[in-house]
Each structure stands twice: as C-alpha cells, then as structure tokens.
C-alpha cells in the first residue's frame, strides 16, 4: 500500500485523499494556508502580477482606462523610494485633525466632514439593500470594530485575548513613538484606546449573533435613532450628507444603539479621541514607508501566524486588485476563461436547479403550499457565471491625482467609493451587480437578490475541469453549486422569498420542522475538538446546511447516471476540494469567527450523512467515518 493510502478511507476521507500531500506541503511565509482554494488563488495572483508588471513597463498594452488607473496605483505602491522618503508625513494632517477635536461641540461641527473622509467614528453607518424591500436601498447603523476578533476574547481569564492585546499594545507603542506626541501623550493615547475598545466590546454583537443575519433587520424611526445617538448630532450628519432625513433607519445592533450614550459622552470623549487617533495611525501604515508597513502589520501577522509580510510587489498587486476588482475580474475572465467551460458549467447549474426542484416536490416534511413557494424560489434564481458583461458605474467615479502619494491615492479612492454608495439611499437596486469579481477563487449566494455567483477563477481543477470525469466534477464544482443554491434554504436564506425580500413564506408547522432539522445539524458539529478548541455548531450551521444540501442534490444526479456514475470519483474529489494545510493560529482564529467549519471537517462530516458513502467504500460500524443512521442528517 502506498503512502497516500496508509490512512483508510473508512476512517478519514480527508487524510486518505490529502495525507501524502499534507506531509510535504509548505505554507507560503506570507499566507496562512496552502492547498485547495489558496493554491488556485496563488496561481491567479501569479498570472495577474505578471500582467501588471508587463503593463507597468509597457511591454503589454493596458486594455482600458480602468486598468490604467489600477496600474498607476500599482506603481505608486512599488515606489518605495518616495514612500520611505515620506515616512509618516502623509498621515500627519489626519492625525492633527483628530487632535483639533477638543470637545464634543468641535466633533459635532466637523462630523459630516469626518464621516466623508473616513475618520473612525464611534459607530458605523452606511447604505445597503433593504431586506424587506430589496428593490431599494436604506440607511443602516451598527457599532464600530473591535481590536480583538470577537467579544468572548474580552472575557476575564481569556488568555488568548490578553496575549493578543499585549502584542497590539507593543505595536501601538512603537508606532506612537514615531508621531509628534510627547511620551505622556503616547501613553495616554494607548491607555484610552484600550479603555474605549473594552467599552465597545460590552455593547456590540458577537460573531455567533452576527451569523443570524436576519436579526440585523430592526427598522426604527429616524427620530428614535437620532435621540439614541445623542449627544452625537446624527440628524445634522444625515442632513448634510444626504440632503434629507429618511423615515426609517435599519438598526443592525439594537443593543449597541441602546447603550450608545454610555459609550460616547462628554466624559468619554477623550477616550474616543485617542482611540480615533491610534486607529487612523494603524490603518495608514500599509500605505506608508516600508518600516511603518512592517511595524503596522505586527498584530495581524500574530493573529493569523504569518512569519512575514507579503512582498511589496504582492502588496502593489493586491491593492490595485482591491480597488479595481471588477475591471480586473472582467479582464481575467475575458483573457483566461474558456467559453466551452462556461457553457458546460451553466448547463450543470441548470441541471442542479431542476434536480433540486424535483427533490423539493418530493420533500416529506414540507406541506404543499411551502413546497410550491420553495420551487418558485428555485425557478427565480439568477445565475452569474464567470464574469459580468460590463464594469459597474462605480469605476467611472474612481480617480486620484497622478502625483498623489500612495496613501493619499488610497484615501481618495476610499472617499469616492464611500460617496458613490451613500448616493444610493432610496435608489433602485441594480440586480445586475456582482458580489464577486471574475478573478476571485470563491462562489456565493446573495439572499437579497436570490442569485448565485461563480467567478471564472474557481472553475479550475480540482473543482472543475473538462478532462475530469463528470462524477469528479459533480463532487467538486457541482457540490459547490448545490451548496450555494442551498443557501436559499439555510437558516437565514429560508426567511427570504423568491425576490430576496424578508418574508415568511412557510407554514408555522413547516418552519418548526425545519428548525428541528437545523438543530440536528448544530448538534452534529457542536463541540468537535479542533486546533486546541471546539467547533461552535451554532456559528457554522448555515454553511453546514448548505454543504449538506449540495451533497444531497448532486448525489441525486449521480443516481440518474446509472453505470456512468463513479461514486469513488465523486467522494474523493469532494475530499480533495477541501484540501488545506493551515497555520495553527489561523485555525484557532477561524474556529472563533468563521461561519464555515474547518476544512477537514467539511471533507469528513457530510459524507457520513449519506448511504452512498457507506456502500461505495464499505464503511461499517466501528469505522471512524461511521455514523449511526439515527444521527444522520439530510435536510434538502
């Protein structure tokens, strides 16, 4: 028996498929993982970095004005001579603007300007799709970000949280020492920042609470929200930015709004001012000198276990990609994505949707009215495959001065992006927009528009290849397609109708039965030991429901293939797409904050729920992959 098969498939599918690779795989020093999604991303990045280099040096024609701007931003990032010479100077005007806010009155007088320029505020606001009227945009508010990854890190006795705050504090001290502040002011700034951050942690949602995104929809009258935000002048802010006050505001975090007055008041204003100062400083460091970039990345590298920062060349490409992602994705799709593959995968999506509809029609726990609505929702799913036909209107608004510093260019792009999105208040939603660019190795379901997106970059082996067997493709991209469709019926998506509106289309009894099945899925994963911690079944339930549905519908297609179905190909490729080797710190972080289960568990847990896995590999009681039939969960 060769090395790869020393672990029995009946005991560990993930190790059986990926074990030999795991022993020799080396994680790149500037990345937290390798394998699967990450390796495809590395390949795409390498290809596009070569193209950017060629466009920058003139050996390759830049195809349009959007990418010309992207290349100019890329060149600014590469200009270390200017970045190093400028040092901290580009951010000093912003830091001085924070120090000029001597009291609440000064803060309120400049609040609209601070918001427009992207200064850290004691709350977040924005414009997004209204979940109960998904044809329009509404104003929304929620709390600011925390230093630590999640609220439980702040609990007394949490050693991981304490250790991370120590790293953050050391980094902050070193950065503050490079500012014009006196030693006493530096100490006060750090002390007050930590105090303000801890106050925020007592008010904002945890990651588990955020995972229930339907709970974000809490409409309140504008008058109610304005009063809750006092002494912050929310009304003046909204009038200045939008020229009007909307009738309602969607409050994503009612607990935060209720406690806002205890966070932001005259007494705590010095804490806020120092918190804002340090946030501006740290957020600027990636775009300043190399010394500041390295120093400012210390906390993040510790958090995910990175030995080193990405090279300047990678930073330059990634920044250009972040700000001009849609034009770059369109370029990638048009240049590197085959139309034959696109046609084949679109046909697969349609087949999976039709199979899903047949399964819904035969569903045993739903009543006829609910089944009818579920099938209607499947009928209305919009498929976005590869890349969009054109670039969105946003990118016509993105401009920066050719002689601007790297930091100023990025700040300008941030502001223009912000203003573009704010201008959408009360406007019609463009359902043709894509949530992911063509060069992203990922896929998604959008509950507010009932569409599924599959960027060109994910349509590669092992997920998909024309030369792979149909069974292997079904266990790869097919199961991913089924996964995204299943998000329409996970614990969150199930509460949105065929147009994406938050609506109750279930009978009370049907939803109760569905809820019991999701509780069974929570129980199946909850408490599994991993990376020194335990899986939180509630945090990851929506993704597990989607994995379960993706496997169920593609196995249904396999049944119809008769002798052409190769179940070994199917399950082995399922195990292969979750191939991943990750740094321990990163695994621990994801265990706390990610709504996806760890990759090895995604590979191993769902096959246990399906009889086909048992018959394919002869899995019996006593094998580690065996799960008692009474405990197996199949929802869709």
Contact 479, 613 (CB under 8 A): no
Q: Which CATH number is associated with domain 344-379+461-631?
A: 3.40.390.10
Average pLDDT over every residue of 301-325: 97
Q: Measured at the alpha carbon of residue 335, what is the angle toward residues 330 and 340, in degrees to the nearest 5?
A: 100
Contact 381, 488 (CB under 8 A): yes
CA 440 to CA 528: how far, in whole Å? 31
Q: What percent of the chain has pLDDT over 70?
A: 99
Q: How confident is the model at residue 338 (pLDDT cuts 50, 70, 90)?
A: confident
Q: Is pLDDT at 1 greater than 90 in this prediction?
A: no
Backbone φ, ψ for residue 383 (5° rounding) = -100, 125
CA 574 to CA 619: how far, in whole Å? 17
Average pLDDT over every residue of 122-136: 97
Give the residue range(s) of CATH 3.40.390.10 domains in the chain: 344-379+461-631
Name the fold adopted by 90-306: Neutral endopeptidase; domain 2 (1.10.1380)
Q: What percent of the chain has pLDDT over 90?
A: 97
Contact 456, 336 (CB under 8 A): yes
> SS in 3 state form for 15-62?
HHHHHHHHHHCCCCCCCCEECHHHHHHHHHHHHHHHHHHHHHHCCCCC
Exposure class string for 132-146: b at 16+ Cβ within 10 A, else e:
eebeebbbbbbbbee
Q: Which two tokens stand for residue 463?
A: 């997920």
CA 528 to CA 590: how far, in whole Å? 14
What 389-396 contacts at long range (C-beta under 8 Å, 24+ apart), as own/partner pairs, is: 390/330, 391/66, 391/326, 391/327, 391/330, 392/326, 392/430, 392/433, 392/434, 393/420, 394/326, 394/420, 395/66, 395/324, 395/326, 395/327
Contacts of 606 (CB under 8 A, 6+ apart): 544, 547, 548, 551, 574
553-563: pLDDT as tens digits: 999 999 999 99
User: What pLDDT score does 602 carry?
Assistant: 98
7-18: pLDDT as tens digits: 999 999 999 999
Q: Which two tokens stand for residue 356?
A: 């899903």
Exposure class string for 408-440: b at 16+ Cβ within 10 A, else e:
bbbbbbeebbbebebebbeeebebeebbbbbbb
Q: Which residues pair with 128 in a beta bridge?
A: 138
User: What pLDDT score does 3 carry?
Assistant: 44
Q: What is the pTM of this model?
A: 0.94
Contact 171, 295 (CB under 8 A): yes
Q: Which two tokens stand for residue 188?
A: 């006060």
**CA neighbor of 408 nearest in space, from 121, 93, 126:** 93
CA 404 to CA 547: how far, in whole Å? 47
Mean pLDDT rounded to a whole number for the chain: 96
Contacts of 234 (CB under 8 A, 6+ apart): 225, 226
Average pLDDT over every residue of 533-551: 97
User: What pLDDT score does 447 carry?
Assistant: 94
Q: Which residues pair with 451 in a beta bridge?
A: 382, 446
Annotated active-site positions, please?
484, 547
CA 287 to CA 136: how far, in whole Å? 35
Contacts of 52 (CB under 8 A, 6+ apart): 70, 71, 74, 316, 317, 320
User: What pLDDT score does 159 carry?
Assistant: 95
CA 4 to CA 570: how far, in whole Å? 18
CA 66 to CA 164: how far, in whole Å? 40
384-424: pLDDT as tens digits: 999 999 999 999 999 999 999 999 999 999 999 999 999 99
User: What pLDDT score does 581 carry?
Assistant: 97
Q: Is pLDDT at 499 greater than 60 in this prediction?
A: yes
User: What pLDDT score does 6 carry?
Assistant: 81
If residue 197 lies in a helix (H) or strand (E), which one and from where to where? helix 183-201
Average pLDDT over every residue of 176-202: 98
Task: Give the torsion sign (CA, 236, 240, 244, 246).
Answer: negative
> SS in 3 state form for 205-230?
CCHHHHHCHHHHCCEEEHHHHHHHCC
Q: Is pLDDT at 565 greater than 60 in this prediction?
A: yes
Q: How confident is the model at residue 542 (pLDDT cuts 50, 70, 90)?
A: very high
Q: Is pLDDT at 166 greater than 80 in this prediction?
A: yes
Q: How confident is the model at residue 340 (pLDDT cuts 50, 70, 90)?
A: confident
**CA neighbor of 440 nearest in space, from 507, 384, 501:** 384
Residue owning tokens 């196995």: 555
Give the residue range(s) of CATH 1.10.1380.10 domains in the chain: 90-306
CA 276 to CA 268: how far, in whole Å? 12
67-87: pLDDT as tens digits: 999 999 999 999 999 999 999
């Amino acid at each position: 028996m060769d090395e790869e098969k020393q672990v029995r498939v009946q005991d560990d599918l993930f190790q059986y498929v990926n074990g030999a690779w795991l022993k020799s795989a080396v994680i790149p020093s500037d990345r937290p993982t390798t394998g699967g999604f990450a390796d495809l991303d590395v390949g795409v990045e390498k290809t596009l970095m070569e193209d950017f280099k060629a466009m920058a040096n003139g050996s390759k024609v830049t195809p349009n004005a959007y990418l010309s701007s992207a290349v100019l931003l890329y060149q600014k990032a590469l200009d270390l001579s200017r970045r190093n010479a400028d040092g901290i100077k580009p951010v000093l005007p912003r830091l001085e603007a924070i120090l000029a806010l001597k009291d609440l009155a000064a803060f309120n007088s400049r609040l609209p300007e601070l918001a427009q320029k992207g200064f850290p505020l004691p709350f977040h606001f924005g414009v997004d799709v209204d979940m109960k009227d998904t044809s329009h945009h509404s104003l929304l508010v929620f709390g600011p970000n925390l230093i630590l990854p999640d609220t439980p890190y702040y609990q007394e006795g949490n050693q991981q949280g304490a250790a991370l705050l120590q790293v953050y504090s050391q980094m902050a001290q070193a950065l503050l020492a490079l500012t014009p502040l006196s030693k006493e002011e530096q100490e006060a700034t750090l002390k007050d920042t930590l105090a303000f951050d801890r106050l925020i942690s007592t008010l904002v949602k945890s990651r588990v609470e955020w995972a229930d995104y339907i709970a974000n929809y809490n409409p309140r009258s504008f008058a109610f929200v304005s009063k809750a935000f006092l002494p912050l002048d929310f009304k003046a802010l909204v009038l200045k930015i939008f020229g009007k006050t909307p009738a309602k505001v969607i409050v994503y975090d009612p607990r935060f709004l209720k406690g806002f007055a205890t966070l932001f008041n005259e007494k705590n204003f010095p804490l806020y001012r120092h918190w804002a100062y340090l946030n501006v400083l740290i957020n600027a460091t990636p775009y300043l000198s190399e010394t500041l970039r390295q120093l400012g990345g210390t906390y993040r590298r510790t958090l995910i276990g990175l030995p080193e920062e990405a090279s300047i060349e990678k930073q330059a490409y990634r920044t250009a990609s972040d700000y001009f992602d849609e034009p770059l994705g369109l370029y990638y799709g048009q240049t590197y994505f085959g139309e034959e593959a696109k046609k084949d995968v679109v046909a697969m999506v349609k087949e999976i949707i039709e199979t899903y509809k047949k399964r819904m029609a035969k569903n045993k726990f739903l009543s006829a009215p609910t089944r009818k609505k579920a099938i209607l929702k499947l009928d209305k799913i919009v498929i976005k495959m590869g890349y969009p036909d054109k670039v969105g209107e946003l990118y016509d608004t993105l401009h920066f001065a050719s002689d601007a510093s790297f930091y100023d260019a990025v700040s300008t792009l941030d502001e223009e992006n912000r203003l573009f999105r704010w201008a959408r208040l009360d406007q019609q939603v463009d359902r043709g927009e894509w949530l992911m660019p063509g060069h992203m190795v990922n896929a998604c379901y959008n509950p507010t528009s009932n569409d599924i997106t599959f960027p060109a970059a994910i349509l590669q082996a092992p997920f998909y290849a024309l030369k792979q067997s149909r069974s292997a493709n079904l266990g790869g991209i097919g199961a991913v397609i089924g996964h995204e469709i299943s998000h329409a019926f996970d614990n969150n998506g199930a509460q949105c109708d065929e147009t994406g509106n938050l609506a109750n289309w279930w009978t009370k009894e049907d939803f109760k039965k569905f809820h019991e099945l999701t509780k069974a899925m929570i129980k199946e994963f909850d408490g599994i030991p991993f990376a020194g911690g335990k899986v939180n079944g509630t945090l990851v339930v929506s993704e597990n429901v989607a994995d379960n549905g993706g496997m169920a519908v593609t196995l249904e297609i396999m049944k119809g293939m008769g002798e052409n179905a190769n179940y070994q190909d199917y399950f082995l490729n399922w195990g292969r797409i979750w191939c991943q080797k990750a740094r321990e710190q990163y695994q621990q972080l994801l265990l706390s904050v990610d709504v996806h289960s760890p990759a090895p568990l995604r590979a191993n847990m769902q096959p246990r729920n399906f009889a086909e896995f048992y018959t394919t590999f002869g899995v019996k009681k006593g094998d580690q992959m065996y799960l008692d039939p009474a405990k197996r969960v199949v929802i869709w």
